[in-house]
Structure 1
Amino acid sequence: MVTKKEVLEALSQCRDPEIDADIVNLGLIYGIQIDENDINLKLTMTSPMCPVTSLILADVQMRLENIPGIGHANIELVWDPIWTPEMMSDELKYRD
């Protein structure tokens, strides 16, 4: 069975090219639900006007589909709550 840890490891390889940080540490992942080997993912972007949304979503889809044993990967882009910099990991907030 696919695990949440495997999903987060895969998603940590997805980077926002404008900020040069991965989407997990940016706090863009709002929910992961695993039903057998199907994944339902809720995520957001740093802004509704993000110019690289389609690139990030395509990368997320590819990374999820490459997890061994994966069934379906369903991605839902959500805007509630609105992302803020406080959602970033401490590691990212305090990097040089």
Structure 2
Amino acid sequence: MENQASKSDPAAGVGFSFANEPPAGGWTRAHVFEVLRGVVDPELQLNIVDLGLVYDAAVVDGTVKVQMTLTSPGCPYGPMLVENVEDVARLLKGVKKVEVELVWFPRWGPHLMTEDLRVELGFDVAEKGPDYGGI
């Protein structure tokens, strides 16, 4: 399982550098999702994007906005994951602020994982869960 990081090095799993100037059109949702692959759920040792914990992301006027969930509302690692998301999102050069919103709908489940991860973990989840409106 690649693209993993820890609190000590949240950028360890990022596949390319965000230290350069943003592209001409600015940082995009795809860039934010890619950089967030550097955040790993410490209990499952899987990145939060492939796990399906990140529902949406946007960059608006230098602010990265992330809507995400946890595997359960009582997840003891929630505060640490939010802090790691904030730290990693700040790797995008020019970002002035990071806002992380924890949301509880749709409820997290294996159907939100990437198909490759579901197959790797042996989940047989063919149907998708409810659509989430996003940011």
Aligned position for 1:9: 34
Picking from 45, 55, 58, the partner of 2:80 is 55
Q: Give the TM-score of the pair, scaled to structure 1.
A: 0.91
Picking from 82, 95, 112, the partner of 1:87 is 112
SS in 2 for 1:40: strand
Query: RMSD of the TM alignment (CA)?
Result: 1.2
CA contact (8 A) 1:2 1:70 kept: no
**Percent identity among equivalent residues?**
31
By percentage of residues, which structure has more helix?
A: 1
Aligned position for 2:66: 41
Give the Cα–Cα distance (whole angstroms) in 1 for the partners of residues 30 and 62 of structure 2: 13
Paired AA for residue 11 in structure 1 = L
CA-to-aligned-CA distance 1:33-66 (integer Å, 9 cap, x gap): 2213211110000101111111111110100112
SS in 1 for 2:120: coil
The one of the two structures with greater contact order (alpha-carbon pairs below 8 A, sep at least 6) is 1
By percentage of residues, which structure has more strand?
A: 1
Provide structure 1 residue ranges, at least 5 long, that are not aligned to the other structure: none
Give the Cα–Cα distance (whole angstroms) in 1 for the partners of residues 86 and 95 of structure 2: 11
Q: Which has the larger radius of gyration?
A: 2
> How far did 1:94 drift?
1.4
Tell me the number of residue pairs that the alignment of Structure 1 and Structure 2 aligns: 96
CA contact (8 A) 2:32 2:58 kept: no
